[in-house]
Amino acid sequence: MLKIFRGISLIEGLSFLLILCVTLNIISRDFVQVLGMGHGVLFMIYIVFAFLTWHKEKWSFLTFILILLASLIPFAFIAVEVFVQKELKNSHKSEVA
């Protein structure tokens, strides 16, 4: 579940940055409908998988809230990536032991 969430988080974060590029006129506004729809769908998938991962990994409520807030802040997906990588390493160590 963590690996799937990690992938979704990265893709959702990058789609958010693409939307910001449209806002800053780096990308043409002709693409706003396609990028907006894609980002919206990815955002909903992110929320669902954050909820599922929260339950499966038994994260604290604070961690879950921070994961949700990270989806609203540009570049915060990088912090989520670092957190999930640490979680993956910890789960791998516990499997080995």
The model's pLDDT over 55-68, given as tens digits with 9 standing for 90+, comes to 999 999 999 999 99
Q: How far apart are the C-alpha atoms of 97 and 48, rounded to whole Å?
A: 31
pTM for the model: 0.89
| Domain ranges, ordered by start, for the chain | 2-91
Q: Are 53 and 1 in contact (CB under 8 A)?
A: yes
CA 81 and chain centroid, separation: 8
**Whether residue 97 has pLDDT greater than 70:** no
Report the chain's mean pLDDT, rounded to a whole number: 93
**Residue whose entry in the numeric block shows the structure tokens 């961690």:** 63
Termini Cα distance of the chain: 20
Per-residue pLDDT reduced to its tens digit, 10-55: 999 999 999 999 999 999 999 999 999 999 999 999 999 999 999 9
pLDDT-derived band at 90, boundaries 50, 70, 90 = confident
Q: In this structure, what DSSP letter does residue 85 have?
A: H
Neighbours of 12 (CB within 10 A): 24
